[in-house]
Amino acid sequence: MAKARQLSQQDIEELVERARRGDGAAFGQLVDEYKDKIYNYVSRMLNDPYEAEDVTQEAFLRAYRSLPRFRGASSFHTWLYRIASNLAIDVVRKRKRQEPTYSLDEPMESDDGEYEREIPDDSGSPEDKSTTRETRVAVRRAIMELPEKLRDVMILYELQGETYEDIAEILNVPLGTVKSRLFNARNRLKDSLEQLVAAGELEVES
């Protein structure tokens, strides 16, 4: 789960207020506080580290530009998540329009050449690395195959540790909708990985 840093809620509120008054240093501290959490969330939504960085950066830029309009009706972190979620969903939908057969496995192209979507895992023996990598690829694939509305809720709840209430606020949907989407997401994820287990590609501990 993406870790939050050590600032208290009061510290956050003070920093937000200072940033709203134009204190760039305060905003910098807010970026430091939330960058890993938001990046991890966006990265899970998009499964692309470069695109995740761009979107995460844009989320903070938009937050900075929108700060004068932030009145504290929601917490800063749910507000920031909402910005990031909207941006990530935009990318997902754009991909669908541009690449109907978006590949989860093919390398991405950049100006510096191709790069793999999968972030290398340097821990463990070669056998462990291979099994771990296969597992992670399979799980990431299963997450990416979820419709974006289910993926969003699954990532926010299971990987980001957000509460049902905060997720409802982030996504601007009723609490019941959050629970329903999470239920459906879990079922679909289970179905995706069940097929792989049946094919003998993954082992599931009993």
* Residue 66 lies near another protein (rule: CB under 8 A): no
CB of 97 to another protein, least distance (A): 26
Out of 40, 87, 169, 181, point to the residue binding another protein (CB under 8 A): 40
H or E segment to which residue 114 belongs: strand 113-115
Partners of 173 in the β-ladder: none
> Pairing relation of β-strands 113-115 and 108-110?
antiparallel
Out of 16, 88, 156, 189, point to the residue binding another protein (CB under 8 A): 189
Residue of 138, 38, 22, 134 lying closest to 86 (CA atoms): 38
In the bound state with another protein, the residue whose beta carbon lies nearer, of 40 and 78, is: 40
Residues 42, 56: Cα–Cα separation, whole Å = 7
* Residue 119 lies near another protein (rule: CB under 8 A): yes
Note the Cα 19 to chain centre separation in Å.
25
In the bound state with another protein, the residue whose beta carbon lies nearer, of 27 and 76, is: 27
In the bound state with another protein, the residue whose beta carbon lies nearer, of 96 and 165, is: 165
Residue 147 tokens read as 């419709």
CB of 86 to another protein, least distance (A): 18
Residue 86 tokens read as 């909207």
Q: Three-class SS of residue 110?
A: strand
Out of 106, 121, 165, 201, point to the residue binding another protein (CB under 8 A): 121
* Residue 85 lies near another protein (rule: CB under 8 A): no
Residues 30, 133: Cα–Cα separation, whole Å = 33
Out of 11, 159, 164, 177, point to the residue binding another protein (CB under 8 A): 159
Residues 1, 41: Cα–Cα separation, whole Å = 10
Helix, strand counts (H, E) of the chain: 8, 2
Out of 28, 124, 174, 176, point to the residue binding another protein (CB under 8 A): 28
In the bound state with another protein, the residue whose beta carbon lies nearer, of 22 and 172, is: 22
Which residue has 């910005």 as its token pair? 83
In the bound state with another protein, the residue whose beta carbon lies nearer, of 49 and 95, is: 49
- Please report, as ranges, the residues that interact with another protein according to CB under 8 A: 1-3, 24-29, 31-32, 35-36, 38-40, 43-44, 49-50, 52-53, 56-57, 60-61, 64, 112, 119, 121, 135-136, 138-140, 143, 158-159, 183, 186-187, 189-190, 193-194, 197, 202, 204-206
